[in-house]
């Protein structure tokens, strides 16, 4: 039952990640509020779910002899190798798109080709996301894999603390997450501090990873009524924030705090509303490929579109059309890659 729910939720969460990365509708108004409710509200449960389910699945083996070495070897194939491969692919695509834009500008505006071409080059450190204090567009979404690998490496310490102190460890991690959130509000989102603690040592990711391990040892028993109440309360908070955004109110750090409070409630509700039946084989295997491919599809499709329509998407129709198209194209490419049978490493052998 749990594995079936995980497959359904993983697919839903992968689609949610796509909606997060679709360009936002700017300015106040109903369309901006609805987009905010989707991409900055309910879809924000996706990454916490991925961290929590990863901690849960790994914790199932922590009492087995030699579990950590086996886990690291397995994650090198399923996480680390895909991470570097897709970083490389993303970098090649980004350089190619940048070069095409430079050539177009040279032809249209007679600009210096060699001078502008140097601006699209990317250093290996940036290409593979190895810088501790800055990130690049080619590394969008893939930071999750890098961070998850770090959590796997330090998982013996995390699991030991959970075994010894359980709730105390979770509360301490929650406090650290809260303190990190306060500091992130005080600092600019472009600061080196923000990037390091949001993309390399994310307290929120560590918290949900540890919660997943804790739930393996101490399952959470929630009835249908309580789960529905959690879902309604969480969605109400997100809806309230979206209404403020539609009215042109800058919710700022307070909004981030309220959303982070609502995310666990929505997760609990969605988990208990998710079907317990096994999804079709085609769908159950698409979550990870969609997660990996979608940013490249977005870059390839939106770069030329933004040349003629810089503010795209302007409407909800454009927003949903863009997200749906990216999901469908990513799924189609995933099926093609799998059927080739020669590039299984791209998806970590999944």
- 324-346 pLDDT per residue, tens: 999 999 999 998 888 877 777 88
Q: Could you read off the pLDDT of 235-287 as tens digits, one per residue?
A: 999 999 999 988 888 887 778 788 888 999 999 999 888 887 887 777 778 89
Q: Could you read off the pLDDT of 55-106 as tens digits, one per residue?
A: 999 999 888 889 999 999 999 999 999 998 998 888 888 878 777 766 665 5
Please report, rounded to a whole number, the percentage of residues in the chain having pLDDT higher than 70.
79
Task: Provide long-range contacts, Cβ within 8 A and 24+ apart, for 169-177.
Answer: 169/210, 169/214, 170/207, 170/210, 170/211, 170/214, 173/203, 173/206, 173/207, 173/210, 174/207, 176/203, 176/206, 176/207, 177/203, 177/204, 177/206, 177/207
With 60 as the cut, is the pLDDT of residue 144 above it? yes
User: What is the phi/psi pair of residue 174, to 5°?
Assistant: -65, -40
Of the listed ranges 15-19, 105-109, 239-243, the least confidently predicted one is: 105-109
Q: How far is CA 280 from CA 4, 10, 146, 341, in A?
A: 10, 13, 29, 20
- At 311, the pLDDT band (50, 70, 90 cuts) reads low
Name which residue leads in pLDDT, 154 or 190.
Answer: 154
Name which residue leads in pLDDT, 95 or 168.
Answer: 168
Note the pTM of the prediction, 2 decimals: 0.88
Q: What per-residue confidence (pLDDT) applies to 105? A: 58
- At 219, the pLDDT band (50, 70, 90 cuts) reads confident
- At 149, the pLDDT band (50, 70, 90 cuts) reads very high
Q: What per-residue confidence (pLDDT) applies to 138? A: 45
Nearest to residue 42, comparing CAs of 271, 287, 298, 267? 267
With 70 as the cut, is the pLDDT of residue 134 above it? no
């Amino acid at each position: 039952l749990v594995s079936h729910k995980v497959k359904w939720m993983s697919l839903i969460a992968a689609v949610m990640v796509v909606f997060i990365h679709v360009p936002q509708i700017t300015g106040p108004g109903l369309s901006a509020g609805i987009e905010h409710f989707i991409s900055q509200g309910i879809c924000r449960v996706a990454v916490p779910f991925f961290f929590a389910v990863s901690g849960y699945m790994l914790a199932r083996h922590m009492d087995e002899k030699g579990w950590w070495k086996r886990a690291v070897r397995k994650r090198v194939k399923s996480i680390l190798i895909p991470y570097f491969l897709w970083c490389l692919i993303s970098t090649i695509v980004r350089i190619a798109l940048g070069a095409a834009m430079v050539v177009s500008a040279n032809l249209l505006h007679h600009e210096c080709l060699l001078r502008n071409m140097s601006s699209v080059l990317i250093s290996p450190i940036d290409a593979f996301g190895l810088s501790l204090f800055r990130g690049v567009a080619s590394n969008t979404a893939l930071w999750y894999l890098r961070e998850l690998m770090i959590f796997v490496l330090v998982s013996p310490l995390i699991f030991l603390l959970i075994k010894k102190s359980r709730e105390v460890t979770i509360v301490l991690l929650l406090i650290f997450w809260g303190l990190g959130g306060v500091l992130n509000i005080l600092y600019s989102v472009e600061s080196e501090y923000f990037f390091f603690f949001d993309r390399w040592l994310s307290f929120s990711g560590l918290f949900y990873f540890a919660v997943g391990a804790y739930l393996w040892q101490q399952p959470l028993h929630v009835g249908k009524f309580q789960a529905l109440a959690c879902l309604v309360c969480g969605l109400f908070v997100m809806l309230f924030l979206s209404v403020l955004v539609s009215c042109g109110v800058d919710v700022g750090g307070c909004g981030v705090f309220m959303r982070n409070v609502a995310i666990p409630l929505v997760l609990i509700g969605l988990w208990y509303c998710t079907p317990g039946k096994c999804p079709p084989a085609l769908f159950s295997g698409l979550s990870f490929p969609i997660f990996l491919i979608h940013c490249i599809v977005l870059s390839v499709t939106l770069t030329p579109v933004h040349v003629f329509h810089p503010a795209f998407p302007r409407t909800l129709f454009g927003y949903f059309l863009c997200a749906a198209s990216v999901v469908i194209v990513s799924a189609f490419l995933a099926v093609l890659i799998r059927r080739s049978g020669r590039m299984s490493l791209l998806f970590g052998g999944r």
